[in-house]
Structure 1
Amino acid sequence: MRIVHVANAYAPRSGGIRTAMHALAHEYLRSGHEPVLVVPGPTAHVHHAAGVRVVQVPAPRVPGAPGYRMVVRPAVVRSVLEALAPDRLEVSDRASLTGLGLWARDAGVPSLVMLHERLDGVLAAFWPGAGSGARPAGAVRALTPVVADAWNARTLGRFDRLVATTEFAAGEVERLAARRRPAGPGGQDGAHGLPPLHRVPLGVDLDRFTPDRFEAPLRRCLAPRGETVVLVVSRLSREKRVDLAVDAVGRLVADGVGVRLVVAGSGPQLTALRRRAQRLGIDHRFCGFVPQRDRVAALLASADVVVAPGPIETFGLAALEALASGTPVVCSATSALPEVVGAAGAWASPEPGPLALAVREVLDRPVAARRAAARARAELFGWAATGEAMLALHHATSAGPSARTGPPPRADMRPVARVGDGGAR
């Protein structure tokens, strides 16, 4: 099969979606299929990356999001798809590319959309004043799910299948389905006008991200006085709420804990976050964007704990890479990460105090035990299983939606990792 995957959030310094697209493409290629990635760029261009064809379509920059571009002329992508003649279509976008589901329906090409984000969370993260620590007003909290549901109701039905990586990511669709499902025996999947929803966890490169990547010289560089290393690997943008991690480390410093904050990533909030760390008296190092994946792996393996504070993360590949590297993760209880982290870390409400307590709880565990638990947890999430699950979905559809008389059959999916015991509540 020729499997074409189209996305907007793909840039030279982008993280999760780009990583997932290439990892899935590798699994498809390994299974004898032909993956093609269609992504935005400054100009039209075609190249190959590790044997995978990448078709770049011209798209303007996204204001306030350095490195990112968004397709504003979907007709260009439709022309590319006409030329590629895919057997299956995957879309990782909830904005300008949702109309591709209609193209696929007309072309008789089975399609799916991957739910990499929750729209209600994104809307809440970007309301005026969000990221300042204040809570949104009641009217805003009430409005965001209404707006998200309206958009989802309009766009998700254009595709044959929906794929969520966690229960958290699926929750938005399940809420909408519950509202629209008729009462009685006719209220099964498909009766509410939404495509079947599948849960397929993402994976991690277990060969690249490993405890063996620990580097003593790097560790001495990060913590020259033997401090505890608290690491954040994230894009430094508003919705990631890296300020919560900085403030949590500030609480630890105020309590006399010898810690050093290390931040790997770039973004519009870099200057503000560095100033925040200085103001709180935190011994810190901002590394900027680290392009070499092996260097990221070494950073993760050489830290004591990784903090992933984003309150609306729907999976968190960086956190999973930390676990694979033998480093426990502290995360926000409001995100999907507790499903991924399980007992190999801790989670707390997205506030500095509770996050600081969660860090201390993890650091109180015996080092060898916490590192072994982190690696064991990550080994549940190999990319091979993700690729197999996605191919099962693609093989389950033998004809385009125009030939269907009912909803496509469900494939047996590997269950989403559930929250384990031991998290800080």
Structure 2
Amino acid sequence: MRVAIVSESFLPQVNGVTNSVCRVLEHLERHGHEAMVVAPGRGPSDYAGFPVRTTPAFRLPFYRSFRVGLPSGEIMSSLEAFKPDVVHLASPTVVGASGMTAADRLGVPAVAVFQTDLAGFARQYGMRGADAAIWGWLRHIHIRAARTLVPSSATMSELNAHGIPRLSLWGRGVDLDRFNPAHRSERLRRELAPNGEVIVGYVGRLAADKRVHLLAKLADLPGIKLVVVGDGPAAKSLRRRMPDAVFCGLRTGTELSEILASFDVFVHTGANETYCQAVQEALAAGVPVVAAAAGGPLDLVQPGQNGLLYPSDSPEGMREAVAHLVADGEARARMSGNARASVLHRTWSALCDQLVGHYETAVARNLSPHEEEDLGEKPWKARVSEPSEAHAGT
């Protein structure tokens, strides 16, 4: 199969969209498929042996490390030259909209992967009146897709409510070797918490939309050492706000594996996560999670089993949940034991096999004359979804 991936971001940007696209490309290479990538900004010319085409991009004034793509004729010309069987739209917004238009013109089905809560992102940056416009634009893109894949049940409900059809659940995989309790390091723990404190950690972007400032509510909890891993525009203000916390900066590879597995409690502060890969990685590393009861974490955190949930609008609820785990070592140990088991079935291999299945279904329907006649139009342009598809896949 020939798969053209049009992504809203790619390397060198490191985020959830980039990570999933890289894992998909690696899977396609291992299984003998052909692929290409179109993404904004400067980046590598190839990945996993597949070509990467770049389009113009600009940096957000309030988030200089984040690039936003611009529409470009390169998208249409690249897809036309590649002749894909299916177009994969990764978190389509601007570049993805051009990819959708190109797929339409080429008569090729598109599978859209919904990954970013843009409306929630805008609200966190003070753009509270933008919801209707954002959802209108997203509906304009997704209504033309053969299928929209969503990462969590909460996101499924939200997209249904906004009139986006043909939805299927498709989560995210986790690298069970890279994120593993075996990487826990007593040496590192002594460095981070020299007085034997309970290590409470966060891993992720340091930005307003992640609400990392809420960690300050934990700073005076007795017996803890707060450890923050990541970088972003809020880094300087967070360091001033939490002078006693350990800020590790951006860590990747073996360093990240070791730090994460050495936490005692993982805290996620974001309330607009469509999935939340960081939570899943912490669970794979055997670390109980405290997260907001919203979005993706609702599918990942089983309260009392592998972590605790708190009301998303309650910083005090977050503090109480963390304080409970800090004080109860027995509960922490039990949840730690359950954490990894709760995500063992969520491997990238299994998830990418499902994704290829979605590709194949989209292509088969595109090539099915009788189905086109029954609908009176191309299947992916139908105005309503088949009821069975709204809850298909895991």
Q: When the two structures are superposed, what TM-score results if normalisation uses the length of structure 1?
A: 0.82
Measure the CA separation in 2 of the matches of 1:336 and 1:306: 16
Match of 1:311 in 2: 271
Equivalent position of 2:67 in the other structure: 69
Go from structure 1 to structure 2 and tell me whether the alpha carbon gap of 1:357 and 1:370 turns closer, same or farther (over 3 Å shift).
Answer: same
CA offsets 1:261-295 (integer angstroms, 9 cap, x no match): 111111110011111113xxxx31111111x3221
- Indicate conservation of the 8 Å contact 1:11/1:68, yes or no: no
Structure 2 partner of 1:181:
none
Q: For residue 152 of structure 1, what is the aligned residue in structure 2? A: 138
Q: Could you say what secondary structure the match of 2:24 adopts?
A: helix
What is residue 122 of structure 2 aligned with on the other side? 123
Query: 8 Å contact 1:120–1:147 — kept in the other structure?
Result: no
Q: Distance in 2 between matches of 1:29 and 1:47?
A: 12
DSSP 3-state at the match of 1:60? strand
After superposition, the CA RMSD in angstroms is: 2.3
Aligned-pair distance for 1:216? 1.5
Question: Which residue in 2 is equivalent to 1:359?
Answer: 322
From 242, 245, 248, the equivalent of 2:212 is: 242
Distance 2:68 2:130 in 1: 23
Q: Judging changes above 3 Å, is the alpha-carbon distance between structure 1 residues 338 and 362 closer, same or farther for their aligned structure 2 residues?
A: farther
Q: Structure 2 vs 1, CA of residues 370 and 361 (structure 1 numbering), >3 Å: closer, same or farther? A: same
Is the 8 Å Cα contact of residues 389 and 413 (structure 1) preserved in structure 2? no
* Cα deviations by residue, 1:215-269 (Å, 9 ceiling, x for unpaired): 111111111111111111111111010011232x12xx2x5x2111111111110
Q: Which amino acid aligns with 1:294?
A: T
User: Which range moves more in the overlay, 107-116 or 59-68?
Assistant: 59-68
Secondary structure of 2:233's partner?
coil
Which residue of structure 2 aligns with residue 23 of structure 1? 23
Distance 1:159 1:238, change over 3 A: same
1:145 Cα deviation (Å)? 4.3
Shift in CA distance, 13/228, structure 1 to aligned 2, threshold 3 Å: farther
Indicate the larger mover: 196-205 or 342-351: 342-351
Question: Following the alignment from structure 2 to structure 1, what is the Cα–Cα distance between the partners of residues 70 and 199?
Answer: 42
The equivalent position to 2:186 in structure 1, one of 205, 216, 222, is: 216
Instruction: State whether residues 41 and 57 of structure 1, in contact with CA within 8 Å, keep that contact through their aligned partners in structure 2.
Output: yes
1:257-336 residue pairs with structure 2 within 5 A?
257-278=222-243, 283-290=244-251, 292-336=252-296
The verdict on how the C-alpha distance between 1:195 and 1:233 changes in structure 2, with shifts beyond 3 A counting, is: same
Percent identity, please: 29
Query: Out of 307, 310, 314, which is 1:348 matched to?
Result: 310
Letter of the 1:263 partner, please give it.
V
Q: In 2, distance between residues paired with 1:106 and 1:357? A: 54
Q: Is the 8 A contact 2:155 2:274 kept in 1?
A: yes
1:102–1:159 contact (8 Å) kept in structure 2: no
| TM-score, normalisation: structure 2 | 0.88
Over 3 Å counting, the alpha-carbon distance change for 1:273 and 1:66 in structure 2 is: same
Which deviates the most, 199-208 or 353-362?
A: 353-362
Question: Could you list the per-position Cα deviations for residues 53-102 of structure 1 after superposition, in whole angstroms to 9, with x for gaps in the alignment?
Answer: 43333433333223322221332222222222221111123421213212
Q: Which amino acid in the other structure matches residue 41 of structure 2?
A: G
Change (3 A) 1:8 1:152: closer
2:366 is equivalent to residue 396 of structure 1 = no
CA distance in 2, matches of 1:51, 1:100: 22
**Which amino acid in the other structure matches residue 18 of structure 1?**
T
- 1:320 offset after TM fit, Å? 0.6
How far off is 1:365 after superposition?
5.1
* Length, aligned pairs only: 374
Q: Secondary structure of 1:10's partner?
A: coil
Residues of 1 paired with 2:202 and 2:361: CA distance?
A: 40
Residue matched to 1:163 = 149
Instruction: Name structure 2 gaps, 5 residues minimum.
Output: 381-385
Q: Is the 8 A contact 1:105 1:402 kept in 2?
A: no
